[in-house]
Structure 1
Amino acid sequence: MTVSSVLVVGGGIAGVSTVAELRKNGYAGELTLLTVDPFPYDRPPLSKEYLAGAKELDSIALQAPEWYAEQRVDLVTDALVVDLDPAAGTVALSDGRQVSADRIVLATGGHSRWPDFERVVRELLDRPPAGKGIPRSTTGLHTLRSDDDADALRHVLLSRARLLVVGAGLIGAEVASTARKLGCEVVLVDPADPPIAAAVGTRVAAWLHSLHAVHGVEAVTATVEKLESTRAGVVAHIAGENEPRTFDAVLLAVGMVPDTALAKAAGLEVDNGVLVDDHQVTSHPNVLAVGDCARRRGQRRAEHWEAALHDGQRAATTILGIDAAAETAPWFWTDRYDLHVEVVGEMHEPDAEHEDVVRGALGEPPFSVFTLHGGRVIGAVAVDDPNAVRAARRMIDRGVDVRASDLADPATDLRKLLRGSR
């Protein structure tokens, strides 16, 4: 079947990469991009430069405003999709409009996950409409998924403001770093010790977590049992503490949940994400799904920026009936306290089959840590050492045999290892 029209629902990196890849590969049909936002913008700066006020929203746009017209993309902003009919190839908007297409791509992203004290939180918050972030909080409770969320949080991050961050993952740590730079008093609570060990390895995770104390953030290994909104602020009951603490604001940063409501209501298969095959096709052949809302059958759901980018590119090649680019090792990055951290592949704790190799001195940037299995790199994490991660990614993708001693020596040119030199 010739595809003469494509509709993409969602204006994050997954949605924008889908339309960009379609045009890049010669698609000449109708192309519509729907987004609930004022325009498609990048999400990572929301916890850093944008939150700090160093960047405004137009400076983090994924594409220049004129790009959409130049690429003949019908960009529809402030568009909330409330219904999907896969068989008819239509979606309905909240204002009553309907849009149809031969292929529909869902790039609906996700929503902030609620902690274990969900009922308490819900009693304190006005729930947002589907697809939009929490409106400016009147209770001191915040999440961070959209520009609206960041604006609300930015409004209260004044010097000496008391901020509780619940969850010390990537977003929580980034916000703690940003808030501390703004002069806030920050407490960071997470039951994991150390957080993000599965992603970067225990030793690097412990060092990264220790940076909070170095920069004046109080890191507490515990859970938050209850939150109460009072005239004095948000009262937090932290497990193991005899007295509650009072904060001006609380950020709930305990992960995200894929936005599958539209897909589920339309009868598509959903299980911790809209289920897709290796070509991003859902259980209905006319509908594809990409980014945070999607999960490949038999795999874990990816939530990182580059994974969403590649999903969109793969969906475009599927629609066009051409081969997708070869997949590479997964990669992501994070920034905290003026340090840039990149991770590629899968880190693994040292055991009988896996070796942990440090290049440089751990805790003294720049440095890198590699995981080896059978004499080959399968993962790497680097702090202020992007060249090491780029080389590690190529080693993983090419299956290059390496010696641990060569990797550990900062004088070794990693490019020579890629060529198989010893």
Structure 2
Amino acid sequence: MVGASLAGLSAARALRDQGYDGGLVLIGDEPHRPYDRPPLSKEFLAGRMSEADLALETETEDLDATWILGAAAEALDPGERAVRLGDGRSVRADAVVIATGASARTLPGTERLSGVHTLRTLDDARALRADLAGAGRLVVIGAGFIGAEIASTARTLGLHVTLVEPASAPLAAAIGAEMGAVVAGLQAGQGVEVLCGTGVREVTGTARAAGAPRVDGVILTDGRRVPADVVVVGIGARPGVGWLAGSGVDVGDGVLCDATGATTLPGVIAVGDCAAWFDPAAGSHRRVEHWTGAVRRPAVAVRALLAGASAGSGSDIRPPEPPYFWSDQCGTRIQFAGHARPGDEITVEEGSLADRSFVAVYRRGDRPVAVLGIDLPRPFTRWRKRLAADALRSPAPAA
């Protein structure tokens, strides 16, 4: 397992659950044992959860595995089926699970400014939490899941928060502009200043007698200047696939896999945020950067691996259910399943937009393709199960 976070750990568990009793090696570039990432932007950032609470392994769990932590993978040798590490070591294996995740995108020009953060790892969260403790004004650039959750958490800590998003609404890429406007209302109702439809021209800083200049504001593309003591950049993530150059593994926006996680190299599968699985419904490859995918998809990929499947082999192993994510922000739980596209018809099936408690269904023609729920978990779950049943009735996956 190259990658020792949730997806790699889930793959190791699936191997043991499905009867594999051989050797297991888990390689991680971070020095930490696997930990849960969703709380980093919420409970951990707010100080309501400790590092011990983030642990993903149970006290009684024993995978009988070898752990190599704090060592990044630098190359995959397909002939030897060996993973070369940054510390000079090489690990050979009969099969390889690629679970190298993704890294946060940074904003060019901010590298030398103190007080500018991304949030992807435990170390990132430690640094941001410490910086927020002495801050009064926070600017969050990017109103995706991480950005919106950090904005909400910072408001509960008493900071003045400005959320900047170049799209017309928060989460617009995932749930569409119409429903994203509802999320903007939730943020504004909590006291977050939401600025949509404008980008960032420059992040400015003030020179100090010692150390790097300290951030002091953000200049927007419309000319406005927003003061800031701390800036968080939440503009997406890059899949961790650079180390695969020359390996023969096909990559695009992630490792290109069939609908069961098999890559173009026999005995090599990919799971988690770095993996772009073929989606039969969309007819294209998609990366799913959410907790549920990192938990459930590895079992499908491991089953294909143990069966000896490779991409395009015509395996009859079924793909997992449609992607699902949730986000806790502004005192509400937002849940979404499926894939939305511009032009989908959206109807509110239960609840109301005015109350900000509803279930909305996205349709393409007569077919439901996605469902959004805000604070109505039971009706949302019913629609999510319906989407999953429709997926099982769809044609068998093609590479």
TM-score (norm 1): 0.82
List aligned pairs for 1:173-184, cutoff 5 A.
Answer: 173-184=148-159
Q: Matched residues, percent identical?
A: 36
Q: CA deviation at 1:107?
A: 0.4
Q: Which moved more, 1:297-306 or 1:97-106?
A: 297-306
Partner residue of 2:70? 78
Partner residue of 2:228? 247
Q: Distance in 1 between matches of 2:12 and 2:183?
A: 37
Matched, 1:290 2:276: no
Is contact 1:195-1:209 (8 Å) kept?
yes
The residue identity in structure 1 corresponding to 2:200 is V
Aligned-partner SS, 2:245? helix
The residue identity in structure 2 corresponding to 1:182 is L
Is contact 1:349-1:356 (8 Å) kept?
no
Q: CA deviation at 1:380?
A: 1.2
Deviations 1:332-375 (A, max 9, x none): 11110110010112345677xx4513311214253211224555
List aligned pairs for 1:33-112, cutoff 5 A.
Answer: 33-37=26-30, 38-67=32-61, 70-112=62-104
Q: Distance in 2 between matches of 1:295 and 1:185?
A: 38
Q: Distance in 2 between matches of 1:363 and 1:165?
A: 26
Find the partner of 1:164 among 139, 162, 171: 139
Q: CA deviation at 1:181?
A: 0.5
Matched, 1:192 2:184: no
The residue identity in structure 2 corresponding to 1:360 is G
Q: CA deviation at 1:18?
A: 0.6
Is contact 2:239-2:274 (8 Å) kept?
yes
Partner residue of 2:312? none
Aligned-partner SS, 1:11? coil
Q: CA deviation at 1:47?
A: 0.6
- Rate the CA distance shift 1:271–1:350 in 2: closer, same or farther, 3 A: closer
Q: CA deviation at 1:241?
A: 2.9
Q: CA deviation at 1:52?
A: 1.1
Is contact 1:164-1:247 (8 Å) kept?
yes
Q: CA deviation at 1:206?
A: 0.7
Is contact 1:207-1:363 (8 Å) kept?
no
Q: CA deviation at 1:282?
A: 2.1
- Rate the CA distance shift 1:286–1:246 in 2: closer, same or farther, 3 A: same
Q: Distance in 2 between matches of 1:355 and 1:233?
A: 41
Matched, 1:388 2:382: no
Aligned-partner SS, 2:251? coil
Partner residue of 1:211? 186
Deviations 1:259-295 (A, max 9, x none): 1111125342221112222232222223221111111
Deviations 1:272-319 (A, max 9, x none): 112222232222223221111111353222212222223311221122
Q: Distance in 2 between matches of 1:363 and 1:140?
A: 38
Q: Distance in 2 between matches of 1:364 and 1:249?
A: 33
Partner residue of 1:149? 124
Q: CA deviation at 1:160?
A: 5.2
Partner residue of 1:235? 217
Deviations 1:392-417 (A, max 9, x none): 022223349xxxxxxxxxxxxxxxxx
Number of aligned residue pairs: give it. 371
Find the partner of 1:271 among 240, 252, 267: 252
Q: Distance in 2 between matches of 1:141 and 1:355?
A: 38
TM-score (norm 2): 0.86
Q: Distance in 2 between matches of 1:36 and 1:348?
A: 35
Q: Distance in 2 between matches of 1:213 and 1:63?
A: 38
Aligned-partner SS, 2:385? helix
Is contact 2:203-2:215 (8 Å) kept?
no
Unpaired segments ≥5 residues, structure 2: 208-213, 279-283, 309-315, 392-399
Aligned-partner SS, 2:57? coil
Deviations 1:8-48 (A, max 9, x none): 01122211111111111111111111122310011111111
Matched, 1:225 2:201: yes
Runs of 4+ aligned residues of structure 1 deviating over 6 Å after TM superposition are: none
The residue identity in structure 1 corresponding to 2:57 is Q
List aligned pairs for 1:342-353, cutoff 5 A.
Answer: 342-347=335-340
The residue identity in structure 2 corresponding to 1:292 is D
RMSD, aligned CA: 2.2
